[in-house]
Amino acid sequence: MYEDKKLVCKECGKEFVFTAGEQEFYAEKGFENEPQRCKECRDARKNAARAQRKFYSAICATCGGEAQVPFEPKEGQPVHCSECYAKIRESKQ
């Protein structure tokens, strides 16, 4: 079926292995293109995008603890910490 392939990262120029398991996963997901970046460069791109995200401090409407949220809280709209938010989502299912 699939065999490991050596590819060259277009970002850093290093060789990396596109394993048979990864190829099978790509095929199952319907991905037609092979990866163009090594894992380290893919991770660096993901982390760079996350680092630009700004977080705001708020007080959780449920437990009163501090919450860090990726949006600016608005007056009159409840904000929940991640633990309370997870409980609320779980109870709705």
Residues of the chain short of pLDDT 50, as ranges, are none
What the block records as the tokens of 74 is 């608005």
- Residue 70: per-residue pLDDT: 87
The residue behind tokens 């991640």 is: 82
Share of the chain above pLDDT 90, in %: 74
How far the first Cα of the chain sits from its last, in Å, is: 41
What the block records as the tokens of 61 is 């409407």
CA atoms within 13 A on the CB side of 51: 6
Query: 0.75 cut: is pTM over it?
Result: no
